[in-house]
């Protein structure tokens, strides 16, 4: 079973720490990022314990205390952005810090809506360290200027505690884990077309939940399976949320055959067992528009296997990749070229011709977990050995990754 979905684990950690009662979370992500969310909630009064393979979180009943020190988010933009929405309505001042990578990531995108609601937020040249001065909030109508589930979540978490109704319009629908998580903990939300609304003054109650396997982690093995004819991969208890299913559509379009062997729903989240086989051809694909937003975490590994395809891969409308844990467009291009590939870099994507052969090289991960893992997959078909600098970054989301890759790879 894959480690628990990172996105869901974050949201369960934050809401469990905020809710009334004891939540029990099984298959919680083993990655470092969601544990930053747990640590921040612990610093504000929640009690976190590991009981066997279950994380138990005793919530604060909606009253977060001002921490004694900084809220250290590590490498986790999800923690920093979403938690800012949760503390914005609390009494006190909350200083958020992160590592060098997180301190370069844009935070203005959450300051704008939260300040419209009445919070006061101080940034450092648009970045962390970030100070959130909490207080009474008023609901707003907000149209998200970028496709960001983290911004949406920050607004919803603040709206949960604001006076009146908070509504948000998404131009491009993003992953809906926050909506499902809020409902699981007892909140009421309404969606009409592209508008999502939440009433303030609602209380949350603890849950027992099992986190489905992480689709973004599965993407590396799905792409690895595409590299080899007659491959056969079975993944159990995989999260199959429709807003994350674009990756399965891509696998099918590139020549994979997917069979859904089982599917169940818990707390609004779908999980199931899938079998993936590849036929004779690995096909290219074009990714742009809404699909690029839906695949933003998976694009590096799709790009990493692009030279092996027939027809190549073209990616557009993915400028958000430049402000992730690294400039992922620049690093993908740099590393593909190091392995001998021809690739054209664009401001919002890249063109990678197919029918190419790659050779082993020294890969610069930029200490970015998804770059390290993506080029481990590309190296499976390369001629010669590949060394990945900063491979330990995989621990941010998937500490077991290299063990799994060793067990599953067919050379």
- Active-site residue list: 297
Rounded to 10°, the helix 149-159/177-184 angle is 30
Cβ proximity of 192 and 173 under 8 Å = no
% helix, strand, coil for the chain, step of 5: 35, 30, 35
4 half-sphere exposure, CB direction, 13 A CA radius? 25
User: What sign does the dihedral 373-375-377-383 (CA atoms) show?
Assistant: negative
Torsion angles phi and psi, residue 394, rounded to 5: -55, -25
Q: Which of 86, 63, 84 minimizes the C-alpha distance to 159?
A: 86
**CA 75/CA 396 separation, integer angstroms:** 7
232 phi, psi to nearest 5 deg:
-145, 115
Pairing of the two strands 127-134 and 120-124 = antiparallel
For residue 144 the two structure tokens come to 């998200």
**Sheet architecture: strand order including 232-239:** 232-239, 269-278, 256-266
Provide the residue count of the chain: 411
Torsions phi, psi of 316, nearest 5? -135, 165
Q: How far apart are CA 409 and CA 411, in angstroms?
A: 6
DSSP string, 144-188: ESS--HHHHHHHHHHHTTSBSEEEEEESS----HHHHHHHHTT--
CA of residue 153 relative to chain centroid, distance: 12
């Amino acid at each position: 079973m894959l480690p628990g979905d990172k996105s869901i684990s974050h949201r369960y950690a934050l809401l469990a720490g905020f809710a009334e009662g004891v939540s029990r979370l099984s298959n919680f992500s083993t990655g470092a990022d969601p544990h930053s969310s747990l640590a921040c909630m612990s610093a504000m009064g929640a009690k976190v314990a590991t009981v066997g393979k279950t994380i138990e979180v005793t919530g604060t009943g909606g009253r977060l205390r001002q921490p004694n020190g900084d809220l250290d988010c590590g490498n986790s933009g999800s923690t920093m952005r979403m938690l800012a929405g949760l503390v914005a309505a609390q009494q006190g001042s909350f200083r958020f810090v992160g590592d060098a990578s997180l301190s370069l990531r844009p935070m203005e995108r959450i300051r704008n809506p939260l300040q419209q609601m009445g919070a006061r937020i101080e940034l450092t040249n648009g970045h962390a360290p970030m100070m959130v001065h909490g207080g009474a909030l008023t609901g707003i109508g907000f149209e998200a200027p970028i496709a960001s589930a983290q911004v949406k979540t920050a607004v919803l978490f603040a709206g949960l505690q604001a006076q009146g109704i908070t509504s948000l319009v998404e131009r491009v629908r993003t992953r809906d884990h926050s909506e499902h998580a809020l409902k699981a903990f007892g909140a009421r939300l309404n969606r009409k077309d592209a508008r999502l609304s939440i009433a303030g003054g609602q209380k949350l109650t603890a849950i027992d939940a099992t986190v489905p396997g992480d689709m973004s982690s599965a993407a590396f093995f799905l792409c690895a399976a595409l590299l080899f004819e007659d491959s056969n991969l079975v993944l159990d208890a995989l999260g199959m949320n429709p807003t994350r299913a674009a990756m399965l559509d891509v696998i099918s379009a590139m020549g994979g055959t997917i069979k859904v062997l089982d599917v169940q729903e818990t707390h609004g989240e779908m999980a199931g067992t899938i079998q993936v086989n590849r036929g004779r051809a690995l096909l290219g694909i074009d990714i742009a528009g809404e699909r690029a937003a839906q695949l933003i975490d998976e694009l590096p590994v799709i790009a990493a296997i692009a030279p092996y395809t027939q027809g190549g891969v073209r990616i557009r409308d993915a400028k958000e990749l430049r402000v992730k844990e690294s400039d992922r467009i620049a690093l993908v291009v740099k590393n593909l070229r190091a392995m001998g590939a021809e690739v054209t870099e664009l401001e919002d994507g890249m063109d990678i011709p197919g029918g190419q052969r790659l050779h082993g090289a020294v890969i610069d991960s930029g200490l970015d977990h998804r770059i390290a893992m993506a080029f481990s997959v590309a190296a499976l078909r390369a001629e010669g050995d590949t060394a990945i600098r900063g491979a330990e970054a995989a621990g941010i989301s998937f500490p077991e990754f290299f063990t799994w890759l060793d067990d599953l790879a067919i050379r």
